[in-house]
Chains A and B, each alone.
Chain A
Amino acid sequence: MESEKSLLIVILDTSLTHDVMCNNKIRMSEYLNAVTVFVNCHVMLKPTNKVAVVVVDTIDCQFVYPDNNLSLTSLRQTTGQCEIFSQVEYSLRNNISNFISQNAKKDILTTEPLIGAACAKSLCYISRLERELEAGKSLNSRILIITGSDNECDKYVRFMNIVFTAQKQNVIIDVCSLEHDIALLQQACDITEGIFFKVPNLSALLQYLLWIFLPDPGIRKKLVVPPPNRVDYRPLCFCHRELIDIGYVCSVCLSIFCKFTPICTTCEVVFKTPTPLPGKAKKKKK
């Protein structure tokens, strides 16, 4: 019965460049508190449940739990809390504050958090755990991204590669967005069969986290959860950066254009004239 472990990796975005933080819609300490409680709740559900937390901002991303450097002395419980909870909480508090104060010394140069990198790290971690698994046991992993990011947040191609890797590894990506509908992350959730959820009221963040993201994917099917939004898969064209339904795709580098151009601006391939329709890919002839 206990052969299946459930691993939750929380990717926690602490970037200061988001509207949520800039405009003080939620205090950083409230935000971190909610996530800490949520993480502990997952551990509490089942003794076999595992958790990992990656903290990410525009400069760096780092695992804050599990923590290999955790000294045994710090494990001594102080508040009568169960050991595992106090261990999780201690690591989170310690490492997150270290991470933030470290990065506070650096200049913030970009508004894009490194969510893709954090996902890649998480996937590596998952695949390592899966390799180390004892025979007959299985690991059920998912990634929860909590972010206040507003733009499409990452390098598109790179991020999509990661999403498809996750899909291949059977890793579900859930996203809890603090403020915006992020098309890229919506696509990621749709591809990996996760949930994308935009929090309507930030002061109740913990409640939404517990209600929507705590149940395992297998249990979610039996619960009544908010219906999924329709995901917009329309891409932006490379030339005018507009959403298009139908466009021209370069047969060599797969760049997308809304109008026919004789030369691909990305890879400088020369296309044949489109009369009749460019049916076949260009074939070299000696």
Chain B
Amino acid sequence: MTTFSEDVLLQVGNVKHKKGEGTLYVMNERIAFILQGSETVSVSHLYTDIKMQKISSEFKTKVQLQLVFHNGETSTFHFIKPDRSEAMRDRDKVKDVLFKLLPKFQKKVNKELEEKNRILSENPSLLQLYRDLVITQVITAEEFWSQHAPKYVPRNVNNNQSTGVPANFLVNIKPQIDGCNSVKYNLNYETINCIFKTYPAVRKKHLEYVPSKMTESEFWKKFFESHYFHKDRINLGANDLFSECAKYDEQELKKELRTLDNNSLVNLSSIDDVDIGEGYGLFEDSSKTTNLIHESIIKRFNQHSISVLKTSKAHSSNSEMNINKNIPNNIEKDTARKHDLPNGNCDTIINYKKSKIMDKINYEDLNPSTIDNCEIESSNLKLNKVEQFANELTKCTRSDNKSLKLKIANSMKEQISNEVLKWSKEHTTCPINPSVAVQALGELTPGGKLMKGLLDDSQSGLLLPPEVSKELQNLYMALGELLRHFWACFPPTTPTLEDKLIRTHDALRRFHSVKLKPFEDTVLREHSHLNQISSHLTLMLNSAYTKYSSWHCRRKPYPS
């Protein structure tokens, strides 16, 4: 106990971990386990390492809690109070505390990881560098991020913008179906938060019922039952816990519809189930009776979207006074402000927007009414030199040449006609002279006169195969980066620079053995004629080594 300066939030005895019995401590930043009779901590996990917790099913005999770590490992704690319900209570206590604590840490870790992931995926060259240097363990990951990639890492890390609610969060709770007709939902803290944000009524219910009237899991079970299986909400069971919520939602929707009524951008009151035709475009079947179920589902989709949008509005309206409160869309607010419109009167804004949109989507010359009224000629292409239009872009033959040709052609047509008539009667057996054919074949085979543009074998041998060229490119990039840091350390005037110099030198050595040597070997094995290809890389490395050793020798006599 004395080894920890942190607060112990929870202490649970009678816990088994890896066959040893002891006590589990839940602390501020970590969870620890001390064996019975032992003074030292045998197991200690930082919350930042923990990905999630799992608990054993209620029907299993063992009461267990499992921690899953980011690296894929797991750790299981077995609660072994003789009384099962007591063990359960212990376990649930731990679970609840962890449930509250974990998201805080998770967010921090996730954000960092995600950020780094994003940076890497956006910069393919950086990713390649990462692969070459970090994964081969030439340098460590921290070194990479601090030394080699600082310009990619954004400075203002501390903008705590709250995440919005993704529109598809309900779909993302992927239920797992086990074999026997039941569905299992895995809810995490964020999803629950999303549900609360989107459906305030559910939050109210949750506060009301949990944990006084029912347990957490019972509540969510009911929620999903009502949300998914009665989604059409036509005949609600009277005893349904969420029927009130539904009514509340309905009212909200109506309120929204009223405010949106004069908004030109959305039209939620017209609910049509329109099929998309086989050809592109829609066809509407007016004769079809409207399906009540379809209508209510569309209505619910709309309502869901409105709720999701509203969560983002709720956030932004806290930070600033918005001009037109009735429009639940941030973008609109922005446009309104940009144009410096008289604030307050939202009708004028909407009209203004309406006219702007109409201006954008209407083309005067495409409008049939204007075409009918105005002169039709103006919309037609008027060509005064049709010949020029159709024939230009082609070279014209010089007229003297042309007339000469016409003369020849006219004079020889009689003769040709006779020749063809003769041809039509007789049958030739030899349409081509064999020697001429062989000559033509020679021109057409690789190396021939007509195949000059193609690379023949002797030429292609001098070129790099694409995979070698790619590899070489990567090697140059990685080595260049390392050498840049190496040479930047000179002259090493401060101890930190010296330290960095030594580290970079080691990294160069490692790079030489881990990356360059294998590359040279493969090249030698597979493309023996390319054996000189890495000489420049080696030269660069060697000059760095020489520089380093000379510096090292000079430094030796005066150890700091």
Q: How far is the CB of A249 from chain B (nearest CB, A)?
A: 12
Residue of A nearest to B428 (CB): A33
Contact across chains for A108 and B437 when beta carbons are under 8 A apart: no
Q: Which residues of chain B from 119 to 173 have a CB within 8 Å of any chain A CB? A: none
Q: Which residues of chain B from 451 to 494 have a CB within 8 Å of any chain A CB? A: 451-454
Residue of A nearest to B430 (CB): A33
A136 to B28 CA separation, bound complex (whole angstroms): 71
Contact across chains for A96 and B424 when beta carbons are under 8 A apart: yes
A-B contact count (CB 8 A): 182
A259 within 8 A of B: no
B265 within 8 A of A: no
Contact across chains for B436 and A184 when beta carbons are under 8 A apart: no
A152 to B432 CA separation, bound complex (whole angstroms): 30
Q: How far is the CB of A26 from chain B (nearest CB, A)?
A: 12
Contact across chains for A268 and B382 when beta carbons are under 8 A apart: yes
Q: Mark B383-416, 1 if CB is under 8 A from A, else 0.
A: 1110011111111110000100110111011101
A208 within 8 A of B: yes
A22 to B402 CA separation, bound complex (whole angstroms): 12
Contacts of A266 in B (CB 8 A): 383-385, 388-389
Contacts of B436 in A (CB 8 A): 201, 203-204, 207
Majority SS of interface residues in chain B? Answer: helix
Contact across chains for A265 and B451 when beta carbons are under 8 A apart: no
B37 within 8 A of A: no
Interface size bracket, A side = 35 or more
Contacts of A211 in B (CB 8 A): 440-441, 444
A224 to B422 CA separation, bound complex (whole angstroms): 38
Contacts of A107 in B (CB 8 A): 410
Known interface pairs A17-B406, A227-B451, A266-B384. Does A97 touch B424 (Cβ–Cβ under 8 Å)? yes
Contact across chains for B397 and A150 when beta carbons are under 8 A apart: yes
Known interface pairs A17-B406, A236-B392, A255-B389. Does A28 touch B424 (Cβ–Cβ under 8 Å)? no
A63 to B31 CA separation, bound complex (whole angstroms): 89
Contact across chains for A200 and B424 when beta carbons are under 8 A apart: no
Contact across chains for A16 and B416 when beta carbons are under 8 A apart: yes
Contacts of B420 in A (CB 8 A): 28-29, 32, 96-97, 100-101
Contacts of B390 in A (CB 8 A): 155-158
Contact across chains for B365 and A100 when beta carbons are under 8 A apart: no
Q: How far is the CB of B455 from chain A (nearest CB, A)?
A: 9
Known interface pairs A29-B423, A224-B454, A266-B389. Does A111 touch B402 (Cβ–Cβ under 8 Å)? yes
Q: How far is the CB of A55 from chain B (nearest CB, A)?
A: 11
Contact across chains for B439 and A252 when beta carbons are under 8 A apart: no
Contact across chains for A17 and B409 when beta carbons are under 8 A apart: yes
Contact across chains for A17 and B405 when beta carbons are under 8 A apart: yes
A120 within 8 A of B: no
Contacts of A108 in B (CB 8 A): 406, 409-410, 413
Contacts of B406 in A (CB 8 A): 17, 108-111
Contact across chains for A155 and B391 when beta carbons are under 8 A apart: yes
Contact across chains for B394 and A236 when beta carbons are under 8 A apart: yes
Q: Which residues of chain B from 416 to 443 have a CB within 8 Å of any chain A CB? A: 416-417, 419-425, 427-428, 431-433, 436-437, 439-441, 443
Contact across chains for B395 and A236 when beta carbons are under 8 A apart: yes
Contacts of B441 in A (CB 8 A): 207, 211
Q: Which residues of chain A from 206 to 256 have a CB within 8 Å of any chain B CB? A: 206-208, 211-212, 224-228, 235-236, 238, 241, 252-253, 255-256
State the interface size on chain B (CB cutoff 8 A): 56
Contact across chains for A207 and B440 when beta carbons are under 8 A apart: yes
Contacts of A3 in B (CB 8 A): none
Contact across chains for B408 and A22 when beta carbons are under 8 A apart: yes
Q: How far is the CB of B442 from chain A (nearest CB, A)?
A: 10
Known interface pairs A203-B436, A207-B436. Does A27 touch B395 (Cβ–Cβ under 8 Å)? no
A79 within 8 A of B: yes
Contacts of B427 in A (CB 8 A): 79
Contact across chains for B432 and A151 when beta carbons are under 8 A apart: no
Known interface pairs A207-B441, A227-B454. Does A241 touch B396 (Cβ–Cβ under 8 Å)? yes
Known interface pairs A37-B431, A97-B421, A284-B365. Does A267 touch B381 (Cβ–Cβ under 8 Å)? yes
Residue of B nearest to A183 (CB): B395
A29 to B443 CA separation, bound complex (whole angstroms): 25
B22 within 8 A of A: no
Known interface pairs A16-B409, A100-B420, A203-B436. Does A151 touch B393 (Cβ–Cβ under 8 Å)? no
Residue of A nearest to B392 (CB): A238
A25 within 8 A of B: no
Contacts of B341 in A (CB 8 A): none
Q: How far is the CB of B374 from chain A (nearest CB, A)?
A: 9
B525 within 8 A of A: no
User: Can you identify 25 A-B contacts, CB atoms within 8 angstroms?
Assistant: A15-B409, A16-B416, A17-B409, A30-B431, A94-B424, A104-B414, A108-B409, A108-B410, A109-B406, A151-B394, A151-B395, A184-B394, A201-B436, A201-B439, A201-B440, A204-B433, A204-B437, A207-B440, A226-B444, A227-B452, A227-B453, A235-B393, A238-B393, A253-B383, A268-B384
Q: A22-B408, A27-B419, A29-B423 are in contact. List 10 more A-B contacts (CB 8 A).
A: A21-B409, A28-B416, A28-B423, A111-B402, A111-B409, A203-B433, A204-B440, A208-B444, A224-B446, A226-B453
